[in-house]
Chains A and B, each alone.
Chain A
Amino acid sequence: MRATDRVLDAIDVETFVACSTEQEAKRIVLELVAGMGLGGADVVFIEMAGPGARVRARAYVHRAGDRYGWLGR
Protein backbone atom coordinates (compact mmCIF):
# COMPACT_ATOMS: atom_id res chain seq x y z
CA MET A 1 0.00 0.00 0.00
CA ARG A 2 1.43 3.37 -0.95
CA ALA A 3 1.62 6.21 1.52
CA THR A 4 -0.66 8.33 -0.66
CA ASP A 5 -3.43 5.77 -0.17
CA ARG A 6 -3.69 6.93 3.40
CA VAL A 7 -4.18 10.54 2.58
CA LEU A 8 -7.82 11.15 3.27
CA ASP A 9 -8.33 13.57 0.47
CA ALA A 10 -5.70 16.13 -0.41
CA ILE A 11 -2.06 17.13 -0.04
CA ASP A 12 -1.17 20.81 0.24
CA VAL A 13 2.29 22.17 -0.43
CA GLU A 14 2.92 25.47 1.36
CA THR A 15 6.02 27.35 0.39
CA PHE A 16 7.70 30.56 -0.71
CA VAL A 17 9.15 30.63 -4.21
CA ALA A 18 11.85 33.08 -5.33
CA CYS A 19 10.72 34.43 -8.70
CA SER A 20 9.82 37.62 -10.50
CA THR A 21 6.22 37.11 -11.63
CA GLU A 22 3.13 35.31 -10.46
CA GLN A 23 3.13 33.32 -13.71
CA GLU A 24 6.61 32.08 -13.02
CA ALA A 25 5.69 31.11 -9.48
CA LYS A 26 2.69 29.14 -10.65
CA ARG A 27 4.71 27.29 -13.20
CA ILE A 28 7.48 26.50 -10.72
CA VAL A 29 5.20 25.21 -8.01
CA LEU A 30 3.15 23.07 -10.40
CA GLU A 31 6.38 21.59 -11.70
CA LEU A 32 7.54 21.06 -8.12
CA VAL A 33 4.40 19.20 -7.18
CA ALA A 34 4.40 17.17 -10.39
CA GLY A 35 7.98 16.21 -9.55
CA MET A 36 6.74 14.83 -6.25
CA GLY A 37 4.56 12.45 -8.19
CA LEU A 38 1.38 14.35 -7.39
CA GLY A 39 -0.62 14.95 -10.53
CA GLY A 40 -3.46 17.32 -11.19
CA ALA A 41 -2.20 20.00 -8.87
CA ASP A 42 -3.98 23.30 -8.52
CA VAL A 43 -2.67 26.54 -7.13
CA VAL A 44 -5.01 27.38 -4.27
CA PHE A 45 -3.31 30.57 -3.14
CA ILE A 46 -0.61 32.73 -4.59
CA GLU A 47 0.58 36.17 -3.60
CA MET A 48 3.56 37.78 -5.31
CA ALA A 49 5.61 40.58 -3.75
CA GLY A 50 9.26 41.58 -3.56
CA PRO A 51 11.58 38.59 -3.84
CA GLY A 52 8.92 36.02 -4.69
CA ALA A 53 5.57 34.44 -4.05
CA ARG A 54 3.82 32.80 -1.11
CA VAL A 55 2.13 29.78 -2.61
CA ARG A 56 -0.17 26.94 -1.64
CA ALA A 57 -0.56 24.18 -4.18
CA ARG A 58 -3.00 21.33 -3.78
CA ALA A 59 -3.17 17.87 -5.24
CA TYR A 60 -6.17 15.68 -4.64
CA VAL A 61 -5.43 12.06 -3.91
CA HIS A 62 -9.01 11.06 -3.27
CA ARG A 63 -11.92 13.11 -4.55
CA ALA A 64 -15.48 12.46 -3.48
CA GLY A 65 -16.73 9.45 -5.36
CA ASP A 66 -13.33 7.84 -5.92
CA ARG A 67 -12.38 4.43 -4.56
CA TYR A 68 -10.71 5.42 -1.32
CA GLY A 69 -7.36 3.82 -0.65
CA TRP A 70 -7.91 4.16 3.06
CA LEU A 71 -11.25 2.35 3.13
CA GLY A 72 -10.96 -1.44 3.62
CA ARG A 73 -10.49 -3.87 0.75
Chain B
Amino acid sequence: MGTKRRGAVLGVAGTAKNTGKTTTLNGIMRETLARDRRILVTSIGFDGEDIDNVTGLPKPRIHCEKGVAVATAAGCLGAGSARIRIEVEPGIDTALGRMVIGTVQSGGLVVLAGPNKTSDLERLLSAASGIRDAADLTLVDGAFARIAPMSLCDALVLATGAARNTSARSLADETAGIVKVFSIPGWSGRGTAFQRSGDRIVAIYEDGRAEDLPTGSMLGAQDIPGDVGALTGVFIPGAVSPGALHLLVSARGGDLRGCEIIIGAATNLLASGDPGSAARALESVEASGGRVYAMREVRLLAVTVNPFYPERLPGGAYEKRFVDPRRLLAEMRRAVRAPVHDVVMEGTAELGSLVDALVADSSI
Protein backbone atom coordinates (compact mmCIF):
# COMPACT_ATOMS: atom_id res chain seq x y z
CA MET B 1 0.00 0.00 0.00
CA GLY B 2 2.98 2.26 0.05
CA THR B 3 2.83 3.29 3.68
CA LYS B 4 5.88 2.70 5.80
CA ARG B 5 4.86 0.52 8.65
CA ARG B 6 6.93 -0.71 11.49
CA GLY B 7 5.36 -3.51 13.39
CA ALA B 8 2.90 -6.23 12.51
CA VAL B 9 -0.82 -5.98 11.93
CA LEU B 10 -2.78 -8.95 13.18
CA GLY B 11 -6.47 -9.42 12.71
CA VAL B 12 -8.67 -11.53 14.98
CA ALA B 13 -11.78 -12.73 13.18
CA GLY B 14 -14.62 -14.88 14.49
CA THR B 15 -16.70 -17.19 12.36
CA ALA B 16 -19.76 -16.52 14.50
CA LYS B 17 -20.78 -14.85 17.74
CA ASN B 18 -19.61 -16.62 20.90
CA THR B 19 -16.61 -18.30 19.26
CA GLY B 20 -14.22 -16.81 21.81
CA LYS B 21 -12.84 -14.04 19.64
CA THR B 22 -12.58 -11.65 22.57
CA THR B 23 -10.98 -14.27 24.81
CA THR B 24 -8.42 -14.91 22.08
CA LEU B 25 -7.80 -11.20 21.64
CA ASN B 26 -7.33 -10.65 25.36
CA GLY B 27 -4.98 -13.65 25.49
CA ILE B 28 -2.85 -12.38 22.63
CA MET B 29 -2.63 -8.98 24.30
CA ARG B 30 -1.52 -10.50 27.59
CA GLU B 31 1.14 -12.65 25.96
CA THR B 32 2.47 -9.82 23.82
CA LEU B 33 2.63 -7.35 26.70
CA ALA B 34 4.47 -9.96 28.77
CA ARG B 35 7.13 -9.89 26.09
CA ASP B 36 7.43 -6.13 26.45
CA ARG B 37 5.94 -5.29 23.08
CA ARG B 38 3.94 -2.14 22.42
CA ILE B 39 0.37 -2.77 21.34
CA LEU B 40 -2.33 -0.79 19.54
CA VAL B 41 -5.76 -2.36 19.53
CA THR B 42 -8.78 -1.43 17.45
CA SER B 43 -11.84 -3.01 15.86
CA ILE B 44 -13.44 -3.00 12.45
CA GLY B 45 -16.81 -3.12 14.17
CA PHE B 46 -18.11 -2.45 17.64
CA ASP B 47 -17.16 -4.41 20.72
CA GLY B 48 -18.58 -3.30 24.00
CA GLU B 49 -21.87 -4.95 24.86
CA ASP B 50 -21.57 -6.73 28.13
CA ILE B 51 -24.75 -8.71 27.85
CA ASP B 52 -25.51 -10.52 24.63
CA ASN B 53 -28.75 -9.00 23.44
CA VAL B 54 -30.04 -12.28 22.13
CA THR B 55 -29.04 -14.88 24.68
CA GLY B 56 -28.85 -12.75 27.81
CA LEU B 57 -25.57 -14.42 28.70
CA PRO B 58 -22.69 -12.17 29.72
CA LYS B 59 -20.05 -11.62 27.04
CA PRO B 60 -16.49 -10.76 27.94
CA ARG B 61 -15.25 -7.36 26.98
CA ILE B 62 -11.83 -6.30 25.93
CA HIS B 63 -9.45 -5.64 28.80
CA CYS B 64 -6.48 -3.34 28.25
CA GLU B 65 -3.55 -2.82 30.58
CA LYS B 66 -1.89 0.48 31.23
CA GLY B 67 0.28 1.52 28.30
CA VAL B 68 -1.78 -0.18 25.61
CA ALA B 69 -2.85 2.13 22.81
CA VAL B 70 -6.43 2.01 21.57
CA ALA B 71 -8.09 3.46 18.53
CA THR B 72 -11.79 3.99 19.08
CA ALA B 73 -14.58 6.52 18.65
CA ALA B 74 -14.29 9.50 20.97
CA GLY B 75 -17.77 8.84 22.32
CA CYS B 76 -16.70 5.40 23.54
CA LEU B 77 -13.81 6.60 25.66
CA GLY B 78 -15.80 6.93 28.83
CA ALA B 79 -17.92 3.86 28.26
CA GLY B 80 -15.49 1.29 29.67
CA SER B 81 -13.64 1.26 32.97
CA ALA B 82 -10.19 2.03 31.57
CA ARG B 83 -9.00 5.62 31.68
CA ILE B 84 -7.65 6.70 28.29
CA ARG B 85 -5.58 9.73 27.32
CA ILE B 86 -6.08 11.01 23.79
CA GLU B 87 -2.88 11.22 21.77
CA VAL B 88 -3.94 11.76 18.18
CA GLU B 89 -7.05 12.38 16.10
CA PRO B 90 -6.47 10.71 12.75
CA GLY B 91 -9.36 12.57 11.11
CA ILE B 92 -11.58 9.53 10.63
CA ASP B 93 -15.33 9.68 11.24
CA THR B 94 -17.31 6.68 12.44
CA ALA B 95 -21.00 6.07 13.11
CA LEU B 96 -20.20 6.81 16.75
CA GLY B 97 -18.18 9.95 16.15
CA ARG B 98 -14.60 10.98 15.48
CA MET B 99 -11.89 8.42 15.99
CA VAL B 100 -9.10 8.98 18.44
CA ILE B 101 -5.92 7.10 19.23
CA GLY B 102 -5.18 7.13 22.93
CA THR B 103 -3.15 5.33 25.55
CA VAL B 104 -4.61 3.56 28.54
CA GLN B 105 -3.61 5.35 31.74
CA SER B 106 -5.23 2.92 34.13
CA GLY B 107 -6.12 -0.58 33.02
CA GLY B 108 -9.70 -1.69 32.57
CA LEU B 109 -12.35 -2.61 30.08
CA VAL B 110 -12.53 -0.70 26.81
CA VAL B 111 -15.25 -0.23 24.24
CA LEU B 112 -13.90 -0.34 20.73
CA ALA B 113 -15.56 1.27 17.75
CA GLY B 114 -12.89 1.53 15.13
CA PRO B 115 -12.49 2.07 11.40
CA ASN B 116 -15.10 -0.17 9.84
CA LYS B 117 -13.92 -0.05 6.24
CA THR B 118 -10.62 -0.71 4.48
CA SER B 119 -9.89 2.89 3.50
CA ASP B 120 -10.36 4.07 7.08
CA LEU B 121 -8.24 1.26 8.52
CA GLU B 122 -5.55 2.24 6.06
CA ARG B 123 -5.63 5.82 7.28
CA LEU B 124 -5.54 4.68 10.86
CA LEU B 125 -2.53 2.44 10.32
CA SER B 126 -0.76 5.27 8.56
CA ALA B 127 -1.55 7.74 11.33
CA ALA B 128 -0.56 5.24 13.98
CA SER B 129 2.78 4.48 12.39
CA GLY B 130 3.66 8.14 12.49
CA ILE B 131 3.39 8.32 16.27
CA ARG B 132 6.50 8.29 18.35
CA ASP B 133 6.73 4.86 20.02
CA ALA B 134 4.53 3.31 17.39
CA ALA B 135 3.15 -0.09 18.19
CA ASP B 136 5.05 -3.31 17.55
CA LEU B 137 1.74 -5.07 17.12
CA THR B 138 -1.55 -3.64 15.93
CA LEU B 139 -4.46 -5.88 16.83
CA VAL B 140 -7.56 -5.54 14.70
CA ASP B 141 -10.65 -7.04 16.28
CA GLY B 142 -13.14 -8.38 13.77
CA ALA B 143 -16.85 -7.76 13.27
CA PHE B 144 -19.95 -9.80 12.61
CA ALA B 145 -20.03 -11.31 9.11
CA ARG B 146 -17.35 -9.01 7.71
CA ILE B 147 -13.75 -9.64 6.63
CA ALA B 148 -12.79 -7.17 3.86
CA PRO B 149 -10.68 -4.68 5.87
CA MET B 150 -8.57 -7.57 7.13
CA SER B 151 -6.87 -7.50 3.69
CA LEU B 152 -4.57 -4.91 5.30
CA CYS B 153 -3.42 -7.35 7.96
CA ASP B 154 -0.16 -9.24 7.79
CA ALA B 155 -1.85 -12.20 9.37
CA LEU B 156 -5.09 -13.36 10.86
CA VAL B 157 -6.08 -15.46 13.84
CA LEU B 158 -9.40 -17.18 13.24
CA ALA B 159 -11.63 -17.86 16.23
CA THR B 160 -14.18 -20.59 15.66
CA GLY B 161 -16.01 -23.15 17.71
CA ALA B 162 -19.17 -25.01 18.60
CA ALA B 163 -21.18 -21.78 18.36
CA ARG B 164 -20.51 -21.94 14.63
CA ASN B 165 -21.29 -25.64 14.31
CA THR B 166 -21.72 -28.19 17.06
CA SER B 167 -20.54 -31.00 14.80
CA ALA B 168 -16.78 -31.23 15.25
CA ARG B 169 -16.39 -32.92 11.86
CA SER B 170 -18.34 -30.25 9.97
CA LEU B 171 -16.56 -27.49 11.80
CA ALA B 172 -13.18 -29.00 11.01
CA ASP B 173 -14.07 -29.34 7.33
CA GLU B 174 -15.22 -25.75 7.11
CA THR B 175 -12.14 -24.47 8.90
CA ALA B 176 -9.93 -26.50 6.59
CA GLY B 177 -11.63 -24.76 3.69
CA ILE B 178 -10.98 -21.33 5.19
CA VAL B 179 -7.33 -22.20 5.74
CA LYS B 180 -7.15 -23.28 2.11
CA VAL B 181 -8.45 -19.91 0.98
CA PHE B 182 -5.86 -18.13 3.09
CA SER B 183 -3.19 -20.35 1.58
CA ILE B 184 -3.58 -18.65 -1.79
CA PRO B 185 0.04 -17.81 -2.65
CA GLY B 186 1.23 -14.29 -3.14
CA TRP B 187 1.70 -12.95 -6.62
CA SER B 188 5.35 -12.21 -7.24
CA GLY B 189 4.39 -9.77 -9.94
CA ARG B 190 5.44 -9.54 -13.59
CA GLY B 191 4.28 -7.99 -16.77
CA THR B 192 3.56 -4.36 -17.68
CA ALA B 193 -0.16 -5.03 -17.94
CA PHE B 194 -0.61 -5.28 -14.22
CA GLN B 195 1.35 -2.19 -13.49
CA ARG B 196 -1.24 -0.28 -15.49
CA SER B 197 -4.10 -1.62 -13.50
CA GLY B 198 -5.74 0.12 -10.58
CA ASP B 199 -9.30 -0.49 -9.77
CA ARG B 200 -10.55 -2.27 -12.92
CA ILE B 201 -10.41 -5.91 -13.90
CA VAL B 202 -7.65 -6.45 -16.45
CA ALA B 203 -7.89 -9.42 -18.80
CA ILE B 204 -4.71 -10.60 -20.54
CA TYR B 205 -5.02 -12.63 -23.71
CA GLU B 206 -2.80 -15.05 -25.56
CA ASP B 207 -1.80 -12.40 -28.06
CA GLY B 208 -0.51 -10.17 -25.29
CA ARG B 209 -3.50 -7.85 -25.53
CA ALA B 210 -4.66 -6.34 -22.23
CA GLU B 211 -8.25 -5.31 -21.82
CA ASP B 212 -9.73 -3.17 -19.06
CA LEU B 213 -13.19 -4.22 -18.03
CA PRO B 214 -15.68 -1.58 -16.90
CA THR B 215 -15.85 -3.00 -13.40
CA GLY B 216 -13.39 -3.86 -10.64
CA SER B 217 -15.22 -6.86 -9.15
CA MET B 218 -16.14 -10.18 -10.65
CA LEU B 219 -19.50 -11.07 -9.18
CA GLY B 220 -21.56 -12.49 -12.02
CA ALA B 221 -21.79 -13.42 -15.66
CA GLN B 222 -21.57 -9.85 -16.93
CA ASP B 223 -18.15 -9.50 -15.31
CA ILE B 224 -16.56 -12.44 -17.16
CA PRO B 225 -14.15 -11.24 -19.89
CA GLY B 226 -15.53 -11.60 -23.38
CA ASP B 227 -12.98 -13.84 -25.05
CA VAL B 228 -12.64 -16.35 -22.26
CA GLY B 229 -11.07 -18.97 -24.50
CA ALA B 230 -7.99 -16.84 -25.12
CA LEU B 231 -7.57 -15.71 -21.55
CA THR B 232 -4.13 -16.23 -19.99
CA GLY B 233 -4.56 -14.02 -16.96
CA VAL B 234 -7.11 -11.94 -15.19
CA PHE B 235 -6.47 -9.41 -12.45
CA ILE B 236 -9.41 -8.75 -10.17
CA PRO B 237 -8.71 -5.90 -7.74
CA GLY B 238 -12.13 -5.79 -6.15
CA ALA B 239 -14.42 -8.47 -4.85
CA VAL B 240 -14.71 -11.87 -6.45
CA SER B 241 -17.55 -14.25 -5.73
CA PRO B 242 -17.30 -18.03 -5.67
CA GLY B 243 -20.12 -18.08 -8.20
CA ALA B 244 -18.11 -15.96 -10.64
CA LEU B 245 -15.15 -18.32 -10.35
CA HIS B 246 -17.42 -21.27 -11.15
CA LEU B 247 -18.73 -19.36 -14.17
CA LEU B 248 -15.19 -18.77 -15.36
CA VAL B 249 -14.47 -22.49 -15.11
CA SER B 250 -17.57 -23.46 -17.04
CA ALA B 251 -17.12 -20.70 -19.62
CA ARG B 252 -13.79 -22.36 -20.43
CA GLY B 253 -15.42 -25.73 -20.65
CA GLY B 254 -13.86 -26.90 -17.41
CA ASP B 255 -10.32 -26.27 -18.61
CA LEU B 256 -8.49 -23.32 -17.13
CA ARG B 257 -5.00 -24.55 -17.87
CA GLY B 258 -2.63 -21.71 -18.67
CA CYS B 259 -4.86 -19.23 -16.92
CA GLU B 260 -3.74 -17.24 -13.89
CA ILE B 261 -6.29 -15.51 -11.67
CA ILE B 262 -4.87 -12.79 -9.46
CA ILE B 263 -7.18 -11.47 -6.78
CA GLY B 264 -6.53 -8.56 -4.44
CA ALA B 265 -6.38 -10.67 -1.30
CA ALA B 266 -7.88 -13.90 0.02
CA THR B 267 -10.36 -11.79 1.99
CA ASN B 268 -11.83 -10.49 -1.29
CA LEU B 269 -13.01 -14.01 -2.09
CA LEU B 270 -14.49 -14.48 1.37
CA ALA B 271 -16.34 -11.19 1.48
CA SER B 272 -19.27 -12.25 -0.60
CA GLY B 273 -20.36 -15.54 0.77
CA ASP B 274 -19.86 -18.39 3.12
CA PRO B 275 -16.36 -19.82 3.50
CA GLY B 276 -17.41 -23.25 2.30
CA SER B 277 -18.40 -22.00 -1.12
CA ALA B 278 -15.17 -19.97 -1.39
CA ALA B 279 -13.12 -23.07 -0.72
CA ARG B 280 -15.11 -25.14 -3.20
CA ALA B 281 -14.75 -22.49 -5.91
CA LEU B 282 -11.01 -22.46 -5.35
CA GLU B 283 -10.89 -26.22 -5.63
CA SER B 284 -12.90 -26.06 -8.82
CA VAL B 285 -10.45 -23.58 -10.38
CA GLU B 286 -7.45 -25.63 -9.33
CA ALA B 287 -9.02 -28.88 -10.47
CA SER B 288 -9.59 -27.31 -13.87
CA GLY B 289 -5.92 -26.43 -14.13
CA GLY B 290 -6.15 -22.77 -13.22
CA ARG B 291 -3.91 -21.00 -10.70
CA VAL B 292 -5.02 -18.42 -8.17
CA TYR B 293 -2.75 -15.80 -6.59
CA ALA B 294 -3.24 -12.88 -4.27
CA MET B 295 -1.66 -9.43 -4.67
CA ARG B 296 -1.54 -9.11 -0.94
CA GLU B 297 -0.93 -12.13 1.19
CA VAL B 298 -2.75 -12.44 4.48
CA ARG B 299 -1.36 -15.38 6.43
CA LEU B 300 -3.56 -17.46 8.63
CA LEU B 301 -1.42 -17.51 11.71
CA ALA B 302 -3.53 -19.79 13.87
CA VAL B 303 -7.01 -21.02 14.61
CA THR B 304 -8.49 -20.93 18.10
CA VAL B 305 -11.33 -23.24 18.88
CA ASN B 306 -14.01 -22.81 21.57
CA PRO B 307 -16.19 -25.73 22.65
CA PHE B 308 -18.83 -23.40 24.13
CA TYR B 309 -22.18 -22.75 22.52
CA PRO B 310 -25.42 -21.19 23.81
CA GLU B 311 -28.30 -23.59 23.69
CA ARG B 312 -31.89 -22.50 23.63
CA LEU B 313 -33.84 -24.51 26.15
CA PRO B 314 -37.50 -25.47 25.64
CA GLY B 315 -38.34 -23.00 28.39
CA GLY B 316 -36.90 -20.14 26.36
CA ALA B 317 -33.78 -19.34 28.34
CA TYR B 318 -30.31 -19.84 26.94
CA GLU B 319 -27.82 -22.01 28.76
CA LYS B 320 -24.12 -22.58 28.46
CA ARG B 321 -23.25 -25.82 26.79
CA PHE B 322 -19.96 -27.39 25.75
CA VAL B 323 -19.07 -30.05 23.23
CA ASP B 324 -16.28 -32.43 24.18
CA PRO B 325 -13.28 -30.08 24.05
CA ARG B 326 -10.68 -32.77 23.49
CA ARG B 327 -12.56 -34.39 20.68
CA LEU B 328 -13.15 -31.04 19.06
CA LEU B 329 -9.49 -30.10 19.27
CA ALA B 330 -8.38 -33.45 17.93
CA GLU B 331 -10.79 -33.32 15.01
CA MET B 332 -9.69 -29.79 14.16
CA ARG B 333 -5.98 -30.62 14.32
CA ARG B 334 -6.56 -33.62 12.10
CA ALA B 335 -8.23 -31.65 9.33
CA VAL B 336 -6.73 -28.18 9.50
CA ARG B 337 -3.31 -27.31 8.10
CA ALA B 338 -2.60 -24.55 10.56
CA PRO B 339 -1.85 -24.36 14.28
CA VAL B 340 -5.06 -24.99 16.24
CA HIS B 341 -5.36 -23.98 19.89
CA ASP B 342 -7.93 -24.10 22.66
CA VAL B 343 -6.60 -21.20 24.68
CA VAL B 344 -8.78 -21.91 27.68
CA MET B 345 -7.85 -25.56 27.96
CA GLU B 346 -4.20 -25.29 26.94
CA GLY B 347 -3.27 -21.76 27.74
CA THR B 348 -2.03 -18.97 25.50
CA ALA B 349 1.71 -19.58 25.52
CA GLU B 350 1.97 -21.19 22.11
CA LEU B 351 -0.29 -18.68 20.47
CA GLY B 352 1.77 -15.98 22.13
CA SER B 353 4.93 -17.39 20.57
CA LEU B 354 3.39 -17.47 17.12
CA VAL B 355 2.33 -13.86 17.46
CA ASP B 356 5.69 -12.84 18.74
CA ALA B 357 7.42 -14.49 15.78
CA LEU B 358 5.16 -12.43 13.52
CA VAL B 359 6.15 -9.27 15.34
CA ALA B 360 9.84 -10.14 15.19
CA ASP B 361 9.63 -10.75 11.43
CA SER B 362 8.00 -7.43 10.76
CA SER B 363 10.53 -5.35 12.64
CA ILE B 364 13.21 -5.95 10.07
Contact = CB atoms under 8 A, between A and B. Distances in A.
Touching in the complex, A and B, CB below 8 A? yes
B221 interface: no
A59 B51 contact: no
A34 to B, nearest CB: 5
Contact of B314 (A27, A30, A34, A66): A66
A39 B314 contact: no
Nearest to B313: A39
Given A30-B56, A34-B56, A39 B51 contact: no
A37 B313 CA distance: 13
A41 interface: yes
Given A30-B56, A34-B56, A40 B312 contact: yes
Interface size class of A (residues with CB under 8 A): 10 to 19
Interface in A1-15: 4
Contacts of B55: 39-40
A56 to B, nearest CB: 16
5 contacts: A4-B315, A39-B56, A40-B312, A62-B315, A66-B314
Contacts of A60: 316
Contact of A27 (B51, B312, B313, B315): B51
A38 interface: yes
Contacts of A27: 50-51
Contacts of A53: none
A63 B318 CA distance: 13
B51 A40 contact: no
Nearest to B317: A39
Nearest to A40: B316
A61 B316 contact: yes
A31 interface: yes
B315 to A, nearest CB: 6
Interface of B: 50-51, 53-56, 312-319
Contacts of B318: 39-40
Contact of A62 (B50, B51, B54, B316): B316
Contacts of B50: 27
A35 B318 CA distance: 14
Nearest to B52: A30
Contacts, number: 42
A73 interface: no
A41 B56 contact: yes
A59 B314 contact: no
Interface of A: 4, 27, 30-31, 34, 37-41, 59-63, 66-67, 69
Nearest to B50: A27
A67 B314 contact: yes
A40 B317 contact: yes
Nearest to A41: B56
Which of B54, B312, B313, B317 lies at the interface centre, i.e. has the most chain A CB atoms within 10 A of its CB? B317
A63 B312 CA distance: 11
Contacts of B56: 30, 34, 39-41
Contacts of A34: 51, 56
Contacts of A61: 315-316
A39 B312 CA distance: 9
A37 B312 CA distance: 14
A34 B56 CA distance: 7
Nearest to A60: B316
Contacts of B53: 30
Contacts of B317: 37-40, 59
A72 B134 CA distance: 67
A41 B53 CA distance: 8
Contacts of B313: 39
A30 B53 CA distance: 8
Which of A34, A38, A40 lies at the interface centre, i.e. has the most chain B CB atoms within 10 A of its CB? A40
Contacts of A69: 315
B287 to A, nearest CB: 42
Contacts of A31: 51
B111 to A, nearest CB: 11
